[in-house]
Amino acid sequence: MEMEILFCISVALGAGLLMSRAAKPLGLPSVTAYLVAGILIGPFCLGRLGISGLGFISTDNVKEFEIISDVALGFIAFAIGNEFRLSQLKKVGGKATFIGIWQAVIATLMVDAALIGLHFALGGKLPISMAITLGAIAAATAPAATLMVVRQYKAKGKLTDLLLPIVAIDDAVGLVIFSVSFGIAKALENGQFSLSAIIVEPLLEIVLSLLLGLVMGLLFSLCEKFFSSNSKRLCLSITFVILTVAISMLKFEIGGIHIGFSALLVCMMLGTVFCNVCDFSAEIMEKTDKWTVPLFALFFVLSGAELELNVFSDIAIVGIGAVYIIARSLGKYFGAYASAKLTKCDEKTTKYLGITLLPQAGVALGMSVTVMELGEVGSVIRNIVLFSVLIYEIFGPVLTKIALTKAGNIEPKPKDKNRKERTAPAKI
């Protein structure tokens, strides 16, 4: 068993590296390459051979590596938290908050309007509960894909400075919208209305997640002072992120109210507190970024392997999914455009910001697991989300790269005319 697990990990990393190499001449981001590699070694391609260890033979086999994805998302959130330095927030904090809230709300409203309209055309095939739940899921943006594209191409500029804080705020807003909409959907399906599930629980989750992140961040910063070696500080950083992810998994109930934490919000707060309290946080963050490169690559390969290609076999899923994708894309773009215009962002940021907010993955998939409580309706919603994530994750990073390039945040690499001269042996 241990040999098969190690074999799967090595095959996943190897496939990701080979695919990223093949994608380089095409100008595709590494994220897209890793996702395609995951699909190729996943249950619907190489996995069909049924050779355990050589690729993933089933979706259950992919889920055995779920802990790797949980840890990777923790480090991704930790890195995004580093973007909330007070010096930077003074410049973009107000704009990021305003845009982060309104683009998420407008995306939700656009999807709600489109799918409720489709409900009247299709009748019982698309219940109102399904329409409003999908509208809520539309608010979520994938922080992982966005961060990876920014890092790979070393994007810098006004758009990038605004983008990462917006992605972080987007997840908090998405969590609230989803909790409210899902509570209403459950009431429509089951006839049970719960005020605590719609308002109290989501607000508690956000507040408690931020408080836990604050405590862990302060404790982390305090512990770092006891070590002077960079290697030991790096080890402590890794320890705290993993510990924070573990604590974030706690769930309990008090007086009938379900209490839990959002690992993304907790780890974002951990990174935010650390980068603002610790004097040498920038150096530690830089070293942590290098350590996480193979972890992130493995995360995206696993994400690709987890995508279920059989959703294409259901025409209804594809049709509703297409409407969802179009409506969400328009909502994200025009929501970001309008709010950026209102906050007087520069022309290029206003024009291209919405495109960078299209990727969707981990958070949306997590929401799609929750909606399974709706029974048959929940199962259909999950398949629609899986279909949209498949499309967004393959094309989203590519569009993000194009938008950042058009906005002048990614500088095209100059052609290396002197390569031969440098590689040739020196003349004596």
Average pLDDT, integer, range 49-61:
82
Q: 197-234 burial, b if ≥16 CB within 10 A, otherwise e?
A: bbeebbebbbebbbebbebbbebbbeebeeeeeeeebb
DSSP state of 407: T
Burial class (CB within 10 angstroms; exposed 0-12, middle 13-18, buried 19+) of 286: exposed
Residue 377's nearest CA partner among 170, 105, 127, 121 is: 127
Residue 173's nearest CA partner among 124, 221, 104 is: 104
Which amino acid is located at 366 in the chain? Answer: G
> What's the angle, vertex CA 188, arms to CA 257 and CA 312, rounded to 5?
105
User: CA separation (Å) from 33 to 12, 29, 57?
Assistant: 12, 7, 20
Q: Residue 357, SS3?
A: coil
| Rounded CA separation 346/298 (Å) | 37
Alpha carbon of residue 309 to chain centroid: 20
**How many C-alpha atoms does 419 have within 13 Å on its Cβ side?**
4
Lowest mean pLDDT among 114-123, 326-335, 411-420: 411-420
Which helix (H) or strand (E) segment holds residue 263: the answer is: helix 263-277
| Rounded CA separation 118/131 (Å) | 9
Which amino acid is located at 252 in the chain? Answer: F
Of 145-154, 329-338, 375-384, the range with the highest mean pLDDT is 329-338
Top pLDDT among 344 and 80 is at: 344
pLDDT of residue 198: 65
Average pLDDT, integer, range 2-10:
85
Q: Residue 207, SS3?
A: helix
pLDDT of residue 426: 43
Q: 138-158 burial, b if ≥16 CB within 10 A, otherwise e?
A: bbbbbbbbbbbbbbbbebebb
Lowest mean pLDDT among 209-218, 326-335, 415-424: 415-424
The pTM of this model reads 0.74
- The answer to whether residues 360 and 392 touch, using CB atoms and an 8 Å cutoff, is yes
Structure tokens at 86: 């007070």
Q: Residue 258, SS3?
A: strand
What φ, ψ does residue 78 adopt, rounded to 5°? -60, -45
Question: For tokens 């945040």, what's the residue?
Answer: 409
> What's the angle, vertex CA 74, arms to CA 72 and CA 80, rounded to 5?
105
Q: Please state, rounded to an integer, the average pLDDT across all residues of the chain.
A: 82
pLDDT of residue 418: 47
Which amino acid is located at 308 in the chain? Answer: E
Residue 251 pLDDT more than 80? yes
| Rounded CA separation 31/34 (Å) | 5
Of 95-99, 174-178, 390-394, the range with the highest mean pLDDT is 95-99
Residue 368's nearest CA partner among 133, 199, 58 is: 133
What percent of the chain shows pLDDT beyond 70? 92
Top pLDDT among 250 and 2 is at: 250
Each residue's pLDDT tens digit, 146-166: 877 888 888 888 888 888 888
Q: CA dihedral in degrees (21, 25, 27, 33; nearest 10)?
A: -30
Q: How many residues does the chain have?
A: 428
85 — pLDDT class (breaks 50, 70, 90): confident
DSSP state of 197: I
